[in-house]
Amino acid sequence: MEVSDPNAPMYYKGFYHLFYQYNPKGAVWGNIVWAHSVSKDLINWESLEPAIYPSKWFDNYGCWSGSATVLPNGDPVIFYTGIVDKDNSQIQNYAVPANLSDPYLRKWVKPDDNPIVNPDASVNGSAFRDPTTAWWADGHWKILVGSRRKHRGVAYLYNSRDFKKWVKAKHPLHSVQGTGMWECPDFFPVSLSGEKGLDPSVMGQNVKHVLKVSLDMTRYEYYTLGTYDKKKDRYFPDEGLVDGWAGLRLDYGNFYASKTFYDPSTNRRILWGWANESDAVQQDKDKGVGRNPVDSKEVKVTTAAQADVDVTFSFPSLDKAEPFDPKWAKLDALDVCAQKGSKAPGGLGPFGLLTLASEKLEEFTPVFFRVFKAADKHKVLLCSDARSSSLGEGLYKPSFAGFVDVDLTDKRLSLRSLIDHSVVESFGAGGRIAITSRVYPTTAVFDKARLFVFNNGSETITVESLNAWSMNKPVMNVPVKS
């Protein structure tokens, strides 16, 4: 059964709710309904019957992505995109819980005064979807809807005083030429004065905003940090940030259609993404070339196929960092990772973890740093390189990577990887960069999977601290007993 975008994550009466795009009829995308799961701890999940499915004229051809807003009185409302014909014409609808006293929120009602938003003549009605969570500013509720005008990515803004009648603002909140369709926009405040997450409607001096969009042209997302001017109803990214496909990413790996929500029970903003799979065949340029990492040490952990590893590396100096080739500035980090890999010996790096490794290293997913010296500063590359992850044929095995802006004065880099059979989710440099890889080893599975730390650079790397924990099996989406 096909599963994709996370929809309308929220916290309600002690339960986390997650809905997601789901095809109940097959393993490929289509017949889209909203599947629904609940959890008390974000680890163990129970599944419920689909919450939103085609049943009315305004969503008969599919219920596409959307978001939840928890109103000031605590009641949740869902906005989603309804598909109204075979040409995928799109409008925005709302749904409310049938029974607010049910913490599972099993049944949802789609009132007859839907839709809340129709595309006007200036809007491309087959590229008009994925309404955001609403926020309150300047006497109005506001939502964004993702779209495009020719090749310009657009986040249309709609205003409402009563949460029922929505009116398009004079200007989009933001748009960028050449970026194509903006799917699943996400817009939220972040605090400059603390680490706590913020409710969507918080504004003020110490608050900036993040705008994230998913680009259907590349299937990558990017975000900028900037200023939300509520008088002009516009968002201005900070100077110096790339507002396009080469911009910052929340995750540099298999990660798309993401969405955040504010968790009032822990004051955190929590991010959900779709760790998409793809059967596109990528040429494994590195097959059979180079050596396997030499200086490696096994990390003993009872279940290396399902583990949480946290390691801090240190090094005596930056002198051995290899030169940064200026040509790489034009490349995606993924291509730099493809050129350098984990196997070619370097100076300061490659060093890191070999996850999901088979005994003789026929298969392994290396997650590693390589530090380069550019004209003005050092550049730190984190790679999660799936090319050596599996002997399986025809799999999508990208050399995911990103550059991370990090202060190296204390000559330390940390890496945390959560390994879960086909998922390796890594956080580098104290979480400044994240990369999720989906990998499908054939032999490095279950108790055959191993974990190593390695260094293939000429500079000495010290493991300052290393903690590795086996992770238990959670309750994974078992149906709720009725």
Tokens matching residue 45: 């999940």
Tokens matching residue 329: 């500035």
In the chain, the amino acid numbered 326 is P
**CB of 135 vs ligand DQQ, minimal distance in Å:** 20
Contact status: 127 vs ligand DQQ (CB under 6 A): no
Name which of 34 and 313 has its Cβ closer to ligand DQQ: 34
Write phi, then psi, for 301 (nearest 5 degrees).
-145, 135
Rounded CA-CA distance 63/130 in Å is 10
Residue 340, H or E segment: helix 333-340
Judge whether 408 and 379 are in contact, CB under 8 Å.
no
Q: Is the dihedral of CA 57, 61, 66, 70 positive or negative?
A: positive
Per-residue interface string for the shown chain with ligand DQQ, residues 31-50, x marking contact by CB under 6 A: -x------------------
Q: Is the dihedral of CA 335, 339, 343, 349 positive or negative?
A: negative
Q: Is the dihedral of CA 245, 251, 257, 262 positive or negative?
A: negative
Q: Is 430 exposed, middle or buried (0-12, 13-18, 19+ CB in 10 A)?
A: middle
Name which of 156 and 364 has its Cβ closer to ligand DQQ: 156
Q: Which residue has the tokens 């409310």?
A: 96
Contact status: 147 vs ligand DQQ (CB under 6 A): no
**CB of 65 vs ligand DQQ, minimal distance in Å:** 3
Q: Which of 5, 233, 243, 251 is catalytic?
A: 5
- For the segment 425-444, give every residue that binds ligand DQQ (CB under 6 A): none
**CB of 189 vs ligand DQQ, minimal distance in Å:** 24
Name which of 80 and 364 has its Cβ closer to ligand DQQ: 80
Member of 2, 3, 4, 373 binding ligand DQQ (CB under 6 A): 4
Name which of 28 and 375 has its Cβ closer to ligand DQQ: 28
**CB of 4 vs ligand DQQ, minimal distance in Å:** 6
**CB of 108 vs ligand DQQ, minimal distance in Å:** 17
Member of 11, 12, 34, 64 binding ligand DQQ (CB under 6 A): 64
Member of 16, 33, 65, 247 binding ligand DQQ (CB under 6 A): 65
**CB of 284 vs ligand DQQ, minimal distance in Å:** 27
Rounded CA-CA distance 260/268 in Å is 10
Name which of 251 and 286 has its Cβ closer to ligand DQQ: 251
Name which of 213 and 311 has its Cβ closer to ligand DQQ: 213
Ramachandran quadrant class, 430 (left: phi over 0; alpha: psi -120 to 50; beta: rest) = left
Tokens matching residue 376: 């003005």
**CB of 23 vs ligand DQQ, minimal distance in Å:** 9
Write b or e for each residue in 313-327: b if 16 or more Cβ atoms lie within 10 A of its Cβ, otherwise e: bebeeeebbbebeee
Per-residue interface string for the shown chain with ligand DQQ, residues 67-106, x marking contact by CB under 6 A: --------------x-------------------------
Contact status: 5 vs ligand DQQ (CB under 6 A): yes
Contact status: 286 vs ligand DQQ (CB under 6 A): no
Name which of 82 and 293 has its Cβ closer to ligand DQQ: 82
| 420 noted as active-site residue | no
Contact status: 212 vs ligand DQQ (CB under 6 A): no
Q: Number of residues interacting with ligand DQQ: please give it, by CB under 6 A.
A: 13
Answer whether the bond into residue 115 is a cis peptide, omega within 30°. Answer: yes
Judge whether 383 and 401 are in contact, CB under 8 Å.
yes
Contact status: 8 vs ligand DQQ (CB under 6 A): no
Member of 59, 130, 251, 459 binding ligand DQQ (CB under 6 A): 130
Contact status: 183 vs ligand DQQ (CB under 6 A): yes
The gap between the terminal CA atoms of the chain, to the nearest Å, is 23
Judge whether 404 and 382 are in contact, CB under 8 Å.
yes
Name which of 21 and 358 has its Cβ closer to ligand DQQ: 21
Contact status: 257 vs ligand DQQ (CB under 6 A): yes
**CB of 179 vs ligand DQQ, minimal distance in Å:** 14
* Angle (nearest 5°) at CA 464 between 461 and 470: 110
Q: Is the dihedral of CA 172, 136, 183, 226 positive or negative?
A: positive
Contact status: 129 vs ligand DQQ (CB under 6 A): yes
Q: Which residue has the tokens 């993924």?
A: 334
Rounded CA-CA distance 426/417 in Å is 4
Q: Which residues contact 240 (CB under 8 A, 6 or more apart)?
A: none
**CB of 9 vs ligand DQQ, minimal distance in Å:** 15
Closest CA to 413 of 359, 448, 463, 375: 463
Residues near ligand DQQ (CB under 6 A): 4-5, 21, 32, 64-65, 81, 129-130, 183-184, 256-257
Residues serving a catalytic function are: 5
